[in-house]
Amino acid sequence: MNGGDGGDVAAAPDGPPLPLDWKFSQVFGERTAGEEVQEVDIISAIEFDRSGDHLATGDRGGRVVLFERTDKKEHGGNRRNLEKTDYAISRHPEFRYKTEFQSHEPEFDYLKSLEIEEKINKIRWCQTANGALFLLSTNDKTIKYWKVQEKKIKKIAEMSMEPSKAAGNGNVSSTIVTSTHKPHLANGGYTSLSNDLLFPAGGIPSLRLPVVTSSETNLVARCRRVYAHAHDYHINSISNNSDGETFISADDLRINLWNLEISNQSFNIVDVKPTNMEDLTEVITSAEFHPNHCHTLAYSSSKGSIRLIDLRQSALCDKHSKLFEEHEAPGSRSFFTEIIASISDIKFGRNGRYLLSRDYMTLKLWDINMDSGPVSTFQVHEHLRPRLCDLYENDSIFDKFECCLSGDGQRVATGSYSNLFRVFGGHAVSTEATTLEASKNPMRRQVQTPSRPSRSLSSITRAVRRGGDNPGVDANGNSFDFTTKLLHLAWHPTENSIACAAANSLYMYYA
Helix (H, G, I), strand (E, B) or coil at 187: helix
Same-domain status, 100 and 172: no
Q: Looking at residue 491, which CATH number applies to its domain? A: 2.130.10.10
Percentage of the chain exceeding pLDDT 90:
57
Per the CB < 8 A criterion, the answer to whether 236 and 285 are in contact is yes
Q: Is the pLDDT of residue 392 over 80?
A: yes
Q: Given pLDDT bands bounded at 50, 70 and 90, which one contains residue 5?
A: very low
- Structural domain count of the chain: 2
Q: What is the pLDDT of residues 453-474, one digit of tens each?
A: 433 333 323 332 223 333 334 4
Same-domain status, 342 and 488: yes
pLDDT at position 465 is 27
Same-domain status, 416 and 273: yes
Mean pLDDT, residues 283-311 = 96
Q: Is the pLDDT of residue 446 over 80?
A: no
pLDDT at position 363 is 96
Same-domain status, 165 and 283: no
Question: Which neighbouring-strand residues pair with 425?
Answer: 411
Q: What is the pLDDT of residues 110-159, one digit of tens each?
A: 878 889 999 999 999 998 888 899 999 999 999 999 999 988 877 776 66
pLDDT at position 467 is 31
In a domain? residue 14: no
SS3 assignment for 98-130? EEEEECCCCEEECCCCEEECCCCCEEEECCCEC
Burial class (CB in 10 A: 0-12, 13-18, 19+), 216: exposed
Q: Given pLDDT bands bounded at 50, 70 and 90, which one contains residue 445?
A: very low
What is the distance between the alpha carbons of residues 408 and 445, in angstroms, rounded to a whole number?
Answer: 31
- Local structure of residue 480 (DSSP, 8 states): -
Backbone dihedral region for residue 34 (phi beyond 0: left; psi -120 to 50: alpha; all else: beta) = left
Mean pLDDT, residues 249-254 = 96
In a domain? residue 16: no
Mean pLDDT, residues 230-243 = 95
pLDDT at position 205 is 60
Mean pLDDT, residues 386-396 = 93
Same-domain status, 377 and 451: yes
What is the distance between the alpha carbons of residues 144 and 136, in angstroms, rounded to a whole number?
Answer: 6
In a domain? residue 205: yes
Give the sign of the dihedral formed by CA 59, CA 61, CA 64, CA 70. negative
The rounded mean pLDDT for the chain is 80
Residue 194: which domain range? 159-209
State pTM to two decimals: 0.77
From first CA to last CA, the distance across the chain in angstroms is: 6
Q: Is the pLDDT of residue 12 over 70?
A: no
pLDDT at position 14 is 53
> Phi and psi dihedrals of 330, rounded to 5?
-60, 135
